[in-house]
Amino acid sequence: MPLPLVTALLAAGLILIWPLKKRRAGWVMSAISFLGLLLLGYGAAGDLMLKGLENQYPAPADIGSHVSVKWVVVLGGGMNSDPRLPITSQLSNGSAVRTVEGIRIYRLLKGARLLFSGGPVFNPVPEGQGMAQLALDLGVPRQDLMAEILSRDTEEQARLIKPLVASDSVFLVTSAVHMPRAMALFRKAEISSIAAPTDFINKKELQFNPSKLFPNYIGFRMAEAGWHEYLGLLYSRIKGRI
């Protein structure tokens, strides 16, 4: 990830300056890492990466006209099942937003069902189960819900969802930055999918915000999300998954 990489460069620069006494090399490395922190904090690096990912699939218009679509498939984006917290806080921000968007699309379609997908990744409770619980709490009838709770990554999600939806078309809901990889994997699994991106990170400012004058965490989040997806795309191509 970008932040640990830049931090490691800064630490290496400080070690070169002291105790190794290689001051010139140390100052050069420290300056490069500082410049990297500025590029990340101001969002320049993240903006460049996200433009090539989030803009590939626009949000669908006139959802209700897709009468042939029978499924709204929502991919999980993380969960921490702390029993002290409400389900809205147990789900990651990405999972919660994806769930709400899935419910919104489901309510615009007639006769469609919701399918939440995600297994127990670094957490004892499957993401699909947590998202389905949120949907139930928000009034979706149980008979219109299904949860796939075994998958550990997007490739497994596509493979396990294919037998559930058969030849039906689906609205595929996931974060905009993740959509290019998800669509490629679902095409590989021969699932007819309409992209329904949500959870956009790179948003156009309609008015000037003074916070833009200072580095902030959003820039780091943008860079991490973009870097993660490009690594995922590269890995999928190397493995022949897309």
Structural domains of the chain in order of their starting residue, each with its CATH number: 2-53+216-238 (no CATH), 58-198 (3.40.50.620)
At 89 the three-state DSSP class reads: helix
Do the Cβ atoms of 65 and 240 come closer than 8 Å?
Answer: no
Give the position of tokens 């209700």: 64
Cβ(238)–Cβ(17) below 8 Å: no
pLDDT of 212 strictly over 90: no
Residue 85's CB: how many other CB atoms inside 10 A? 11
Residue 160's CB is within 10 A of a number of other CB atoms, namely: 16
- Compute the distance between CA of residue 6 and CA of residue 230 in angstroms, rounded to an integer: 18
Q: What is the pTM of this model?
A: 0.93
What does the pLDDT read at residue 206? 87
Condensed to tens digits (0 to 9), the pLDDT of residues 168-196 reads: 999 999 999 999 999 999 999 999 999 99
- Token reading at 152: 């550990």
